[in-house]
Amino acid sequence: MKTEPFLLDEAYEQAFLAFKKTIAILPVLSRPKLGVPLLLYLTVDDEPVSSALVQEEGKHLLPIYFTHRILHDVEKLYQMIKKVMVTLITSTRHLKPYFQSYQVVVKTNYPIRKVLQKPKLKERMVAWFIELLEFDLQYMLCGLMKTQFMTDFLAKFVGNDQTT
């Protein structure tokens, strides 16, 4: 078998530099510190829903975990608040050890707490409410923040990939 030497031409060099640049800006997941609350940011779009679990360290937000899910056909027809609840329930199911071990503050622009406190909830919302009672969650409305942009980007980026 005859092997020829590998030549690195300009196209390969440009591709390699672009790859290095992409890797350098990707967030590195961190291990959460005990006693410090975790923040959960939710992003809901027409099809993809995502969440980012982060922890504050000084002025920096350290990413702990990301979740992503494509909504099924029927779920795409849900009202926005139900889509938010699907995102929250998906996050709690996937990240249950974090939710059981840490105080989690859910930060979103949707009034989850108000919806869950309504006396007349539909069957599915009651089931979700009961499931969420297992965790000591706090809900806070948030404005646009760096992490929210990150989860929005994740939802848009991964939302184009139907294999997830």
- State the number of CA atoms in the 13 A half-sphere of 28 facing the CB: 5
DSSP state string for 141-157: E--S-HHHHHHHHHHHH
- What confidence tens digit (pLDDT) does each residue in 60-69 have? 788 889 888 8
Instruction: Look up residue 164 and give its two tokens.
Output: 């997830």
The reported pLDDT for the residue numbered 96 is: 93
The reported pLDDT for the residue numbered 160 is: 47
Q: Are 109 and 141 in contact (CB under 8 A)?
A: yes
Radius of gyration of the chain (CA): 20
Instruction: Please name the amino acid found at residue 98.
Output: Y
pLDDT winner (highest mean) among 45-59, 107-121, 137-151: 45-59
- What confidence tens digit (pLDDT) does each residue in 33-47 have? 888 999 998 888 777
Domains of the chain: 38-159 (3.30.420.10)
Mean pLDDT of the chain: 79
Instruction: Please name the amino acid found at residue 40.
Output: L
Residues above pLDDT 70, as percent of the chain: 82
Q: Is the pTM of this model over 0.75?
A: no
